Amino acid sequence: MSGRCLIFAYAMLNALAYSLLLPLWEGFDEPFHFAYAQTLANGGGFPDPRSSTLSAEAASAVLLAPASISVKTNLPAVASYDDFFRAPDSERARVHGELLRIDPQLRKQPSPFLNYEAHQPPLAYAILALPEAAMARIPLPYRVLALRVSGAAMGVVLLLAAAGRLTRQLGIPPPFAEAVVFVALSSQMLWATLAHVANDWLAVPLALWLIVLTIEYYNKPAARRIAAAGAVLALGLLAKAYLLAFVPVLAAICVARKRWRDLAVAAAIVAALAGPWYARNVARYSILTAIPEIRQGARPAAALEDLRLKRVPAAIEASARSALWTGNNTFRAFSKATLRILLAVWAAALLLWMAQRHRAAEWIALLYSSAFFAALLYDAAINDAVSHGENVNPAPWYAQPLLVPILSLAFLGAARGRALGKWIASAMVLLSGYVLIATYWAKLIPLYSGFEARATMAALIRLYRQPSQVAHGLAAICFAPPAAILSLALMVCLVAIGEAALLARSIARGAAPTLYRRYFRRLRSERSRYP
């Protein structure tokens, strides 16, 4: 099996395992994202956050399905996971059965729950609306699973293609280039972002493709290349509004190249494809993005003015940790010490990169990352304004477009860092593989099987000595066979162990093993295309 095939298998196994393991509505704001796709599938047109609601079908499932404490705080009628697992088996079986028996005809009836995600751009939901409409008669939990798997699979294919192109543009040698992809695919928050019903599965890879196409345009300016970059930017803007952060960057690249006609071409494409949606927002809500918090009077500018510099380092560190690991809608945390070590290793690799001379492609990747970091600060200011200073962290799923560009620069620095760089790169690979394995077997599987004790090694050993108990818990809360979930998680972890060991060994030796020789030849042949 070639290295690329192994990485592709790793990606698809993760996409499937994470989608099946996640209980119904445990994805971030998932019922409201699902309602958007369902509205389009029903032929109801674009929803309006002021009046559009969840369907009676989705609302019934929200009230029936157990949820995290954070969800129960907003919906007291919902049973928490703790309450659900303490209930008798007969009660859990009743809830599971009723979720499967919700009448699909209720999909076209309104409910009292307003859809606060109805302000989102429509492209990703329009794509998911196709399988939702085709499976209209299938029980709702299985449709949600199908939409998760479809979105995650499409998103990861787009992401892998873009990541492979970016590592070649940056001149990252193997096996460091493959390590970039492996570490990205080992990030729990990447899967928490892609493998639930939402629009992130499309927005994250499109943001990466925009960097790739901008670098191609900068290296060899041409009308067709700026047209491609403009089209991807427009599609990204129709997937998620946070790609507005990239508009001035693409414009600045055209200006730096003094390609005024190309700037006009890109502007025309963006205006023609994405312009009508944002013009609609301005006409309806008097704001470009239709963000509910802004429509309701939040003033992020005031929050930025009141920002206290002494709070910034702690907020950045906490945001970085949550961008690597946040336990879905339960917001369960991972070991702070482990994540801090991982972040410290990433920072060391970036310091190695900063100490080197850089090519234009690297500066473009950094420029895009900086622009998006500024957008995250804006989101933090919104959160600060809405929460009156209690929450200053941006949403962790918003940070995922930074994952591959930052890792690419970090591994490029490690590749240039000689012996020290090899040690740092190996540590990044091994730590990331460990975190992914612990994500499944020490965190999520115990959580969703009703395990309440602290996840010490001894407690986990006792838990897995009773596989029937784990399977029984998963069967009550998940809508895939427990054997399938556990088998997929096991395969993911076996591939992670093998790939991490192979990459660490190859990095330490400083040469590409047999798996990467074909990729290395391709890299050398293509590197000449990027000065």
Look at residue 514 in the predicted model and tell me its pLDDT: 38
Q: Name the pLDDT band for 382 (thresholds 50, 70, 90).
A: confident
**How many other β-carbons are positioned within 10 Å of the β-carbon of residue 280?**
12
pLDDT in tens, 54-71: 999 999 999 999 998 888
Going 444 to 447 to 453 to 454, the CA torsion angle's sign is positive
Closest CA to 182 of 198, 199, 167, 201: 167
Residue 139: Cβ-neighbour burial (10 angstroms; 0-12, 13-18, 19+): middle
User: Does position 213 have pLDDT exceeding 90, yes or no?
Assistant: yes
Look at residue 313 in the predicted model and tell me its pLDDT: 74
∠ CA(237), CA(281), CA(298), 5° rounding? 95
CA–CA separation, 325 and 92 (whole Å): 29
CB 141 within 8 A of CB 220: no
- Buried/exposed code over 506-515 (b: 16+ C-beta within 10 A; e: otherwise): bbeeeebeeb
- The two tokens of residue 499 are 């790939």
**Distance between the two ends of the chain, CA-based, in angstroms?**
32
Over residues 319-333, the mean pLDDT reads 92
CB 58 within 8 A of CB 115: no
Backbone angles phi, psi at 223, to 5 degrees: -60, -40
Look at residue 517 in the predicted model and tell me its pLDDT: 46
DSSP assignment of 420-471, as one string? HHHHHHHHHHHHHHHHHHHIIIIIIHHHHTT--S---HHHHHHHHT-HHHHH
CA–CA separation, 344 and 267 (whole Å): 40
Look at residue 523 in the predicted model and tell me its pLDDT: 47
Q: Please tell me what DSSP assigns to residue 3.
A: H
Look at residue 77 in the predicted model and tell me its pLDDT: 87
- The two tokens of residue 1 are 């099996």
Average pLDDT of the residues of the chain:
90
CA–CA separation, 366 and 514 (whole Å): 32
Please name the helix (run of DSSP H) or strand (run of DSSP E) that holds residue 110, with its range, or none. Answer: strand 110-114
Cβ partners under 8 Å of residue 457, min gap 6: none
Count, in order, helices (H) and strands (E) of the chain.
Answer: 27, 2
- The two tokens of residue 426 are 């190996």
Please name the helix (run of DSSP H) or strand (run of DSSP E) that holds residue 48, with its range, or none. Answer: none
Look at residue 531 in the predicted model and tell me its pLDDT: 45
Look at residue 287 in the predicted model and tell me its pLDDT: 85
Over residues 484-500, the mean pLDDT reads 96
- The two tokens of residue 461 are 């050993």
Q: Mean pLDDT lowest for which of 161-175, 270-284, 393-407, 501-515?
A: 501-515
∠ CA(175), CA(179), CA(180), 5° rounding? 125
pLDDT in tens, 91-115: 999 999 999 999 999 999 999 999 9
3-state secondary structure of 53: strand
Whole-structure pTM value:
0.92
Q: Name the pLDDT band for 300 (thresholds 50, 70, 90).
A: low
User: Does position 245 have pLDDT exceeding 80, yes or no?
Assistant: yes
